[in-house]
Amino acid sequence: MKYKKIIFILHFSLFALPSFSQIALDTNQFQPSVLIENFTSEGCSSCPEGDKFMGELIRLSDSTNNPVSIIDFHVDIWNRSGWVDPLSDSVFSKRQRTYLAKNKLEAVYTPMAVCNGNEIWPGMAKKEIGRFIGKSLTKPSKHFVRVASQMVPGEDSLTVAYALWGNLDSCLINVALVQQDLISKITSGENANKTLHHHNVVKFFYTRHLNGVKGEFKIGIPRGLDLTKYRMITYIQQENTWEVLCSDQLFFDVRK
């Protein structure tokens, strides 16, 4: 697979992100992707720095059309520290603990960035995460996924249609519907009197066992949800290890 390297200089690091041409689906080597799950909390004083870095990565990947997806899971582990994060969910906290167990780690902390399911760093570890992205995007992948979605007429639901390439036995398909930008004003706790800017916050999350290399299913959404403020990020995980094999993301154009 041929690609052209482009060097991007940010104020925090320098790393090379290759820009791949159209994927060659008749081979066993596909365009690689990176999926970062950022576990964060409004009750954590270290999280605003990590959230800012994730926002910078999102803007960089969007502007350069590189396959890097970032999702923001708000956990509830700091909800007794003076501020209850209204975006938090105990399900997300359980997901974080599962990652720690699968990677044989014990300490629970935020912000925590899980990169492709098997590399974990603090969410503000710019050098390490930047190096991981650059390295991952230089190696062709053995797996690839493409996803399409649209509203179901007359229903409060979306269809999710997917196509997969590569060996995908014993895998899960995850669909995260994330709000792209969200502002919170904090009145107590460690971030009291701060205005926090969140990015790609998980508002709806669905997981199911993968059944075949092509498929379609429905996910429910609230009536009247403004999808122009959201993006859908879909990723395939190995069921036992939770390694992320490939990912895809899309924006909604409700005018169509």
Q: What is the pLDDT of residues 198-254, one digit of tens each?
A: 999 999 999 999 988 999 999 999 988 999 999 999 999 999 999 999 999 999 875
Q: What angle do CA 74, 77, 79 make, to 5 degrees?
A: 85
Percent residues over pLDDT 90 in the chain? 82
Is the model's pTM score more than 0.85? Answer: yes
Pairing mode, if any, of strands 214-220 and 112-115? unpaired
Q: Return the pLDDT at 182.
A: 96
d(CA 32, CA 190): 38
Q: What is the DSSP-derived secondary structure letter of residue 228?
A: G
Q: Which residues pair with 134 in a beta bridge?
A: none
* Residue-range domain boundaries for the chain: 33-251
d(CA 70, CA 232): 11
Q: Return the pLDDT at 14.
A: 30
Q: Return the pLDDT at 7.
A: 31
Q: Return the pLDDT at 167.
A: 87
Reply yes or no on whether the pLDDT at 80 is more than 90.
yes
d(CA 179, CA 171): 26
162 touches 213 (CB < 8 A):
no
Compute the average pLDDT of residues 90-97: 98
Phi and psi (nearest 5°) for 63? -70, -25
Question: What b/e string do you get for 102-127 counting C-beta neighbours within 10 Å, with b at 16 or more?
Answer: beeeeeeebbbbbbbbebbbbbbbbe
CATH number, domain 33-251? 2.60.40.10
Compute the average pLDDT of residues 157-167: 93
Q: Return the pLDDT at 139.
A: 92
Reply yes or no on whether the pLDDT at 31 is more than 70.
yes
